[in-house]
């Protein structure tokens, strides 16, 4: 081997150290003794005496002054001399990383492999020496496709061809799942949404909307929270003020009605159902009743995420607003009100599952 190819694509020749002297090329070690560091790619290399590493030579026209805090450290800084005569400094991992120096293991994690001699080192508490290598001169390791082994990783650890093949299979499975005839009774499929005082389990419900698969409004009401008096943060989102719920029913008063509605349903669907479920489940006292509800619950957001993974891998956001935009559905009402969000959820679901219901 008398030439190597750098990451930039440039090829540099192997020379011996007398050639380097004749051409006034400088090794990294010489540069560091002059308080200089390279400001460009190496122009040639030689092999270290142990044959394990390369020593790079740099053009003296492309060097800059080294970081001054490396200059006067001689009294306290420790150094070691490598077999080839290069002197390297001991430094902490953080300083090394700030200079772009990493251990072989960390480089491997970034898919780099050092070929140059170490440029610094550190000592572990147990006395073990860890060498740091300059990432700038390390070789980029090929990133192999986990399926076919070709050296051109594209997405999800696969090459483009394997990714697309994989995507086509997943898409076909998804189409079957979405286009299947489910034979549901639209009156027994419910969509619901809650607006809340906050984002956590202990937060209270401020409004509930429930509609059926045909878009018939079953319940649409504000709810007066039993404990919470103010909810400034979520108020900005859904617009429900404490004054608005002053005369609304308490959740407690609505529970018998909600239970009766849910009891008649085969599916209860929400967008991002885990949040809604984690609040609505408290209308039931027993774990058994909660599990019965859980079994009927479906998440429209999960289905939308699956749809875009299969059909629009370019999209990564999956809010209800994103879903409506992606599927080209018009909003009725203002997003973030439970009424508008429930209708939107129904529209997204019915678009994703065109054969969900018994036809008339």
Enumerate binding residues for Zn ion (CB under 5 A).
Answer: 145, 147-148, 150, 159, 162
State the minimum distance, in angstroms, from the CB of residue 150 to Zn ion.
5
CA distance 307 to 93: 44
What 3-state class would DSSP assign to 54? Answer: strand
- Is residue 60 a contact partner of residue 66, using CB atoms and an 8 Å limit? no
State the minimum distance, in angstroms, from the CB of residue 147 to Zn ion.
5
Decide whether 153 or 346 has the Cβ nearer to Zn ion. 153
Decide whether 171 or 336 has the Cβ nearer to Zn ion. 171
Decide whether 166 or 322 has the Cβ nearer to Zn ion. 166
- Is residue 271 a contact partner of residue 320, using CB atoms and an 8 Å limit? yes
Tokens at 25, concatenated: 């090329």
State the minimum distance, in angstroms, from the CB of residue 168 to Zn ion.
14
State the minimum distance, in angstroms, from the CB of residue 145 to Zn ion.
3
Place of tokens 């959740």: 251
Q: How far is CA 307 from its chain centroid?
A: 18
Decide whether 163 or 271 has the Cβ nearer to Zn ion. 163
State the minimum distance, in angstroms, from the CB of residue 167 to Zn ion.
12
Decide whether 162 or 258 has the Cβ nearer to Zn ion. 162
CA distances to 79, 171, 178, 329 from 351, in Å: 68, 16, 9, 9
Residue closest to 60 by CA, chosen among 76, 82, 36: 36
Backbone angles phi, psi at 290, to 5 degrees: -65, -40
State the minimum distance, in angstroms, from the CB of residue 175 to Zn ion.
23
Decide whether 144 or 327 has the Cβ nearer to Zn ion. 144
Secondary structure element (H or E) that encloses residue 347, with its range: helix 338-352
CA distance 230 to 197: 8
- Is residue 134 a contact partner of residue 101, using CB atoms and an 8 Å limit? yes
State the minimum distance, in angstroms, from the CB of residue 111 to Zn ion.
17
CA distance 27 to 44: 10
Decide whether 158 or 251 has the Cβ nearer to Zn ion. 158
């Amino acid at each position: 081997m008398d030439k190597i190819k750098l990451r930039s694509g440039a090829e540099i020749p192997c020379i011996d150290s007398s050639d380097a002297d004749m051409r006034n090329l400088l090794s990294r070690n010489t540069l560091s003794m002059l308080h200089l560091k390279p400001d460009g790619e190496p122009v040639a290399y030689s092999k270290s005496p142990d044959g394990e590493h390369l020593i790079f030579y740099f053009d003296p026209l492309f060097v800059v002054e080294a970081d001054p805090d490396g200059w006067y450290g001689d009294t306290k800084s420790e150094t070691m001399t490598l077999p080839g005569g290069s002197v390297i400094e001991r430094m902490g991992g953080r300083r090394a990383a700030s200079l772009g120096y990493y251990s072989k293991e960390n480089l491997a994690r970034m898919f780099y492999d050092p070929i140059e001699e170490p440029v610094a080192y550190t000592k572990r508490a147990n006395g073990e020496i860890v060498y740091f290598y300059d990432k700038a001169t390390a070789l980029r390791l090929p990133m192999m496709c986990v399926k076919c082994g070709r050296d051109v990783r594209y997405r999800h650890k696969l090459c483009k061809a394997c990714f697309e093949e994989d995507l086509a299979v997943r898409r076909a499975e998804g189409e079957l799942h979405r286009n299947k005839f489910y034979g549901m009774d639209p009156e027994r499929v419910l969509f619901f949404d809650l607006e809340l005082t906050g984002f956590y389990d202990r937060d209270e419900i401020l409004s509930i909307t429930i509609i059926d698969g045909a878009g018939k409004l079953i319940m649409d009401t504000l709810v007066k929270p039993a404990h919470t008096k103010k909810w400034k943060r979520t108020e900005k989102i859904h617009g429900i003020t404490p004054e608005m719920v002053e005369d609304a029913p308490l959740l407690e008063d609505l529970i018998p009605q909600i239970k009766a509605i849910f009891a008649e349903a085969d599916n209860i669907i929400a967008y991002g159902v885990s949040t809604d479920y984690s609040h609505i489940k408290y209308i039931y006292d027993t774990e058994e009743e909660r599990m019965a509800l859980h079994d009927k619950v479906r998440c429209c957001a999960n289905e939308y995420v699956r749809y875009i993974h299969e059909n629009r891998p370019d999209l990564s956001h999956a809010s209800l607003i994103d879903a409506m935009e992606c599927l080209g559905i018009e909003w009725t009402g203002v997003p973030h009100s439970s009424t508008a969000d429930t209708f939107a959820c129904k529209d997204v679901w019915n678009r994703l599952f065109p054969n969900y219901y018994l036809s008339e």
